[in-house]
Amino acid sequence: MSADKKRKIRVELRKNREKPARERDLTRQYLAGEEEETAAAIRQERVRAKGELSRRRTVVGEQPTATGGLPVLPAVDISHCLPGRVLRVQGLYSTVLTDDGRTFRCVVRKLLRDLSIDERHIVVTGDRVWIRPATAQEGSIERVEPRHGLLTRGAKGKEHIIAANVDQVVIVASLAEPILKPHLVDRYLVSAEKGQLRPIICFNKADLVDLVNYQWLIGMYSQLGIPVIPASARTGFGIDRLKELLKNRQTVFAGQSGVGKSSLLNAIQPGLQLKVREVSEATQKGRHTTTTAELIRLDFGAWVVDTPGIRQFMLWEIVPEELDGYFPEFRPFVALCQLPGCSHTHEQGCAVKEAVRLRQIPMQRYETYLGLRQGDTFE
């Protein structure tokens, strides 16, 4: 880091103490008398602030110029640190592959852990980082570089970044076992648009169905300019085409549990030996096999991220008034609506609704749009 870029930056840290989930010492509430009230008042008088108060700290570093990532880039001593990329995150430890080909098991620097952010995790799979080696195999992550190419979702009121610094997303859905969910595919497409990722749709388990019955679905997405690949990890159908789309790219594989993401990767590169499991016959839902997102280098010049299956995919920070912008087939008609700021749900003179009636916009896609406006989960 050049000296002219270094400066002191005030950053927000996580609150030191949070209010307990429930009120404690309920028995004391039954005690009456001035003695108890006086003692309680004394206990509340503190010289040092305590409670749900913000904490701040001055850090020497850079202010990120790009969106995405942490609010500060701490200064690092490059003579003692190594650049690398996060392969996986498991609990408190991250596996980092450095640019010189070594692998380190790293903890995250306390300053980074304490930063107040909207993300669930400070470090995610695919992050470019600087680490300080402690031994030949262990170290600490000192800095996380700004991110681009994100696949994210909302989880427990925070942003869950599934993978960072990738070029495209392969949205995997199964044509059988578990049941196909086009609305879930649409949610991934919205997230891909928001994260500036090129989407690819792979309909796996094509050997279990008659593809003629799904030509309408394949055609619907193909008309949006999205590559659509019917495939079978078991028979090898469609694998060569999928492999071509991965070459010299960095791709995240995403989809619900049981659709065969790991099986497809095993078919693309024999010998990868990722764990797979069968779909439950009772519930027709996939069983979690992949437990954490993992960045994998393939032999033919590609990087892929294998991710855990997700049954619900909540979008993160999508403004309802801007939702139509994530549906490319809506765009030619939005400007033709009679009312400015038309929601395309109930207004008279809505060009989008008229396009749906004339089958210029697929009804299935419009139903997804309405569900997102209403906050449906489409599990």
Mean pLDDT for 229-257 is 96
Which range (154-163, 209-218, 306-315) has the least confidence?
306-315
CB contact at 8 A, 163 and 126? yes
| 204 and 327 assigned to the same domain | no
Residue 154 lies in a domain: no
In a domain, 157, yes or no: no
Tell me the C-alpha to C-alpha distance, in Å, between residue 53 and each of 18, 44, 111, 227: 9, 15, 18, 50
The residue with greater pLDDT, 101 or 59, is 101
Inside any domain, residue 160:
no
2 & 58 share domain: yes
pLDDT at 166: 97
Q: Rounded to whole angstroms, how far apart are CA atoms 267 and 250?
A: 18
Average pLDDT rounded to a whole number, residues 168-190:
94
Overall pTM surpassing 0.75 (yes/no): yes
Same domain as 179, residue 131: no
- 302 forms beta bridges with 298
Cα dihedral 161, 164, 167, 168 in deg (nearest 10) = -30
Task: Check whether residue 142 and residue 2 sit in a common domain.
Answer: yes
Considering the domain architecture, whether residues 142 and 224 belong to the same structural domain is answered as no
Q: Return d(Cα 359, Cα 140) in angstroms, integer.
A: 56
Q: What share of the chain is helix, strand, coil (3-state, %, to 5)?
A: 25, 25, 50
Residues annotated within a binding site for Zn(2+): 337, 342, 344, 350
Clarify whether residues 294 and 347 are in a common domain.
no
CATH assignment at residue 297: 3.40.50.300
Specify binding-site residues.
204-207, 255-263, 337, 342, 344, 350
Look at residue 213 and give its three-state secondary structure.
Answer: helix
Give the domain-ending residue among 147, 177, 208: 147
Q: Enumerate the β-bridge partners of residue 83.
A: 130
Say whether pLDDT at 379 is over 80. Answer: no
Phi/psi at 189 (5° precision): -65, -40
- For residue 214, is pLDDT > 50? yes
Residue 86 lies in a domain: yes
Closest CA to 251 of 148, 168, 164, 165: 168
The yes-or-no verdict on residue 184 having pLDDT over 80 is yes
Q: Give residue 58's pLDDT.
A: 84
Which residue is listed with tokens 């309920």? 26
CB 273 within 8 A of CB 326: no
Burial class (CB within 10 angstroms; exposed 0-12, middle 13-18, buried 19+) of 348: exposed
* Statement to judge: residues 291 and 326 lie in one domain: no
Residue 379 in any domain: the answer is: no
Residues annotated as binding site for GTP?
204-207, 255-263
Full domain range(s) for residue 340? 321-374
Same domain? 15 vs 96 = yes
The residue that leads in pLDDT, 204 or 23, is 204
pLDDT band at 108 (very low <50, low <70, confident <90, very high): very high
Are both 328 and 300 inside the same structural domain? no
100 Cβ contact partners less than 8 Å away, ≥ 6 residues apart: 82
Quick one: 142 and 217 in the same domain? Answer: no
Ranges of H-type helices in the chain:
34-44, 110-114, 182-194, 215-222, 239-246, 261-268, 331-334, 351-357, 363-374
CATH number reported for the structural domain that contains residue 102 in this entry = 2.40.50.140
Is the peptide bond between 178 and the residue preceding it cis, with omega within 30 degrees of 0?
yes
CATH number of the domain bearing residue 362: 1.10.40.50
Q: What is the pLDDT of residue 283?
A: 44
**Same domain flag for 185 and 295:** yes
Q: What is the pLDDT of residues 50-78, one digit of tens each?
A: 444 557 888 888 888 766 678 888 989 98
- Residue 249 lies inside a defined structural domain of this protein: yes
Question: Are both 188 and 253 inside the same structural domain?
Answer: yes
Q: Please determine, for residue 307, whether its predicted confidence score (pLDDT) is greater than 80.
A: yes
Last residue of a domain, one of 306, 340, 355: 306
- Total domain count for the chain? 3
Is 156 contained in some domain? Answer: no
CA distances from 15 to 38, 51, 109, 120 (A): 28, 8, 17, 15
